[in-house]
Amino acid sequence: MTNSKTILVTGSTGQLGQSLKAIARDYPNCEVVFADRQQLDLSETHSIKDFFQQNSFDIIINCAAHTAVDKAETEVELANKINHLAVQQLANIAKQYDSKLIHISTDYVFNGKQCRPYIEADDVEPQGVYGRTKLSGEQAIQNGLKTNAIIIRTSWVYSEYGNNFVKTMLKLGKARDEINVIFDQVGTPTYAKDLAQAIMSIVQSDHFNQVSFKTDIVHFSNEGVCSWYDFSKAIFELNGIHCDVFPIETKDYPTPAKRPYYSVLNKAKIKQTYNLNIPYWKDSLRQCLIGLQDLEK
């Protein structure tokens, strides 16, 4: 058991923020403070400064982000403020107050043209504003905080909370007899609760609790690989929904933001460094569907 720590979680109303809230009580040696947008608005430099003048933490877990990938194409300045400039400010604050920083980034930093799972050292080439601003956030941490920060890139996050692909499919599957889903974008879903648990394991790990460690990037998603088409088929099968799913190509479902065709993340580094066991995506999907049913009771 490590010493007691104070932890700040930003973006407490989001999928990951709420998933961390759901498991925080399992870690009695951590005093976790959850901040929503009203308490800490990451688009306002002054809000960030004021917040940290009044509060200090051993660890900052930054779950807040401008995550609306298509909207970001037109909300460029706002996305840059939240995903880049605020992250730069958080890195400076972590340095100033000697806090450790865990920041969440995305598979969308890659161009998706590769055909083997991406490792952390692979070349980045984001395809849209969201990916570009998230990459700038990563670089701000790497340049401004050379030690005591971890950047976790993740992909296709879903949960019991907020809006996500699983909840959209459940709604559509119940309302329609058939549905078209993209089959030529391939990745791995991430159950936010698994990511939350991985983050708390990192916080408890010997590596993280060294006086100082080199700032690094790691990848996390569930195990396995699927397309959005396979993902929707599994959601319907596991939930007993009778809805025909037809595979379509990305070009038949145009969106403002370009998305990577292939964004499977290689998780060898995070597993080895933090001794993690990561569940297979379909097993975690089953857990989330049970969680959703429990919430409906």
Ligand X SMILES: NC(=O)c1ccc[n+]([C@@H]2O[C@H](COP(=O)([O-])OP(=O)(O)OC[C@H]3O[C@@H](n4cnc5c(N)ncnc54)[C@H](OP(=O)(O)O)[C@@H]3O)[C@@H](O)[C@H]2O)c1
Query: Using CB under 6 A, which of 9, 42, 186, 218 touches ligand X?
Result: 42
How far from the centroid of its chain's Cα atoms is residue 105's Cα? 6
Residue carrying structure tokens 């930093």: 109
> Which residues, 6 or more positions from 203, have their beta carbon under 8 angstroms from its beta carbon?
5, 7, 27, 30, 59, 102
Q: Which residues pair with 149 in a beta bridge?
A: 101
Question: Which tokens belong to 132?
Answer: 């570009």
Instruction: Tell me the residue number closest to ligand X, measured at CB.
Output: 14
Pinpoint the alpha helices (H) of 55-118: 76-80, 86-97
User: Which positions from 93 to 112 touch ligand X by CB under 6 A, shown as an x/- string?
Assistant: -----------x-xx-----
Number of residues that make up the chain: 297
138 lines the binding site for ligand X (CB under 6 A): no
Please, what is the minimum distance in Å from the beta carbon of residue 112 to ligand X?
13
Q: Is 130 a catalytic residue?
A: yes
Query: Using CB under 6 A, which of 30, 65, 150, 243 touches ligand X?
Result: 65
The active-site residue, picked from 108, 118, 130, 261, is: 130
In which element (H, E) is residue 61 found?
Answer: strand 59-62
How far apart are the C-alpha atoms of 71 and 180, rounded to whole Å?
A: 22
Please say which residue, 84 or 282, places its beta carbon nearer to ligand X: 84
66 lines the binding site for ligand X (CB under 6 A): yes
Neighbours of 266 (CB within 10 A): 15
- Residue 232's identity, in one-letter code, is S
72 lines the binding site for ligand X (CB under 6 A): no
Please say which residue, 209 or 269, places its beta carbon nearer to ligand X: 269
263 lines the binding site for ligand X (CB under 6 A): no
Please say which residue, 142 or 209, places its beta carbon nearer to ligand X: 142
284 lines the binding site for ligand X (CB under 6 A): no
Query: Using CB under 6 A, which of 80, 133, 148, 154 touches ligand X?
Result: 154
129 lines the binding site for ligand X (CB under 6 A): no
Choose one: 62-70, 201-209, 267-275, 284-292; the region binding ligand X (CB under 6 A).
62-70
201 lines the binding site for ligand X (CB under 6 A): no
Choose one: 9-17, 53-61, 93-101, 255-263; the region binding ligand X (CB under 6 A).
9-17
150 lines the binding site for ligand X (CB under 6 A): no
Residue carrying structure tokens 């991406």: 118
DSSP state of 271: H
Please, what is the minimum distance in Å from the beta carbon of residue 35 to ligand X?
8
CB < 8 Å & 24+ apart, contacts of 270-273:
270/152, 270/198, 270/218, 270/219, 270/220, 273/205, 273/207, 273/218
> Which residues, 6 or more positions from 99, have their beta carbon under 8 angstroms from its beta carbon?
56, 57, 58, 59, 60, 93, 148
In which element (H, E) is residue 234 found?
Answer: helix 228-239
Please, what is the minimum distance in Å from the beta carbon of residue 62 to ligand X?
7
Helix, strand, or coil (residue 142): helix
15 lines the binding site for ligand X (CB under 6 A): yes
16 lines the binding site for ligand X (CB under 6 A): yes
13 lines the binding site for ligand X (CB under 6 A): yes
Binding site for ligand X (CB under 6 A): 11, 13-17, 37, 40-43, 63-67, 82, 104, 106-107, 134, 154-157, 162
What are the residue numbers of the active site?
130
